Structure 1
Amino acid sequence: MTLIRSRDFTATRAWGALDIANMGGVTTRLHWADQPYEWHVNDGEEVFAVLDGTVDMHVRENGVARVTTLEAGDIFFAGLGCEHVAHPRGPARILVVEKEGTV
């Protein structure tokens, strides 16, 4: 058994992660971030759950960008081909479930 108190997790750099599990090629990682990530499209689906903090999720579809604000407890699902980038508003802790090897 492993207990992780997400509110206590801090990384040495933005988007640093704690690997929690790898279940049949699907990884679960806890990320700490205080800076934007980068625009990207995953090579699989992604579940992004904000555990602590506030994150502005930018999504671009057909060349049109929109922003959705995610608060603690909110979950974002990025389907195949979803171009997105996360911009935390200050420190945030995010649980990410995605295909192994996804950046």
Structure 2
Amino acid sequence: MAILNPYLSFKDNARDAMNFDQEVLGGDLQLMTFGDMGDESESKNLVMHAQLTTPSGFTLTASDTRPAWATPRLAASRSDSRAPRPMNCAATGRSWPTVAPW
């Protein structure tokens, strides 16, 4: 069975959204900011990557969009290896493989 693993991109409130999701869904939330990776710009407190793994095995990931980047968007991957067809990004119309080449 395939499981959809969404990756959400927020303007600047990924931390609040992921904390809310953890309150509702439970599980283990891990957050890393741009500052954790040495960024000293105005983006240092934004979320570079967040991952919530729920007790039922659902994984939700997210990040903030830095001011210089494009608008927030949604991407997703499938967990099964039987998905060779590409998925299309709604924001750009580009596609990428659902199965990593490595």
Q: What TM-score do the two structures reach when normalised by structure 2?
A: 0.26
Question: Higher strand fraction: Structure 1 or Structure 2?
Answer: 1
Question: Higher helix fraction: Structure 1 or Structure 2?
Answer: 2
Higher Cα radius of gyration? 2
